[in-house]
Structure 1
Amino acid sequence: MCLAIPLTIQKIEGKTAIGTANGISQKIRIDFLPDCQLGDDVMVHAGFAIEKIDAQKAQETRELYQEIFHAVQ
């Protein structure tokens, strides 16, 4: 199963960006979302930002993933 994860855009350089969540940073591609701006929350799959989402949905998704992670440990 493949999951997209929500990240917050912290830095943009051309078609790449740095996204963060829970203190972890990842370099991602933003080719599919050329209107990305700093502070945007995006869903990331396979290193690509594939959808902008609002901050509430991003937080809810992070909390759900934490719940799943703790349930399978």
Structure 2
Amino acid sequence: MCLAIPAKVTALEDGDMAVVSLEGVRKRISVALLDEIAVGDYVLIHVGYALHRLSESEAARTLSLMAEAGILSGELEEMTGGEA
């Protein structure tokens, strides 16, 4: 399905790259589309790009709704290429 999904920034790297974490899944993504980003921020990611920064409560609510709708596990599987 490949929806945009919230994740927490756990590390910043050179070249507008960052590492995000969600449910124990870590992924390297581009943050080039955002002006400012910091470790601990929550971002909405889609196909390897951070599209928008959001609050922790907004991220939690979105993840809860995705889990309730039964789509969170599928999105996590897509993030890992089926290795989750």
Same fold (TM over 0.5): yes
Distance of 1:68 and 1:40 partners within structure 2: 25
Higher strand share: 1
Summarize the alignment of residues 8-23 of structure 1 with structure 2, pairs less than 5 Å apart. Answer: 8-14=8-14, 15-23=16-24
TM-score, with normalisation over the residues of structure 2? Answer: 0.77
Counterpart residue identity of residue 26, structure 2: S
Counterpart residue identity of residue 65, structure 2: L
List structure 1 runs of 4+ shifted beyond 6 angstroms: none
Give the equivalent residue in structure 1 for 2:27.
Answer: 26
Number of residue-to-residue matches in the alignment: 70
Give the equivalent residue in structure 1 for 2:45.
Answer: 44
- Percent of pairs with identical residues: 30
TM-score, with normalisation over the residues of structure 1? Answer: 0.88
Cα-to-partner distance string for 1:12-68 (whole Å, 9 max, x where unaligned): 012110001111111100001131000000000111000000000000011111111
Gaps in structure 1 of 5+ consecutive residues: none
What's the C-alpha RMSD, in Å, of the aligned pairs?
1.4
Gaps in structure 2 of 5+ consecutive residues: 72-84
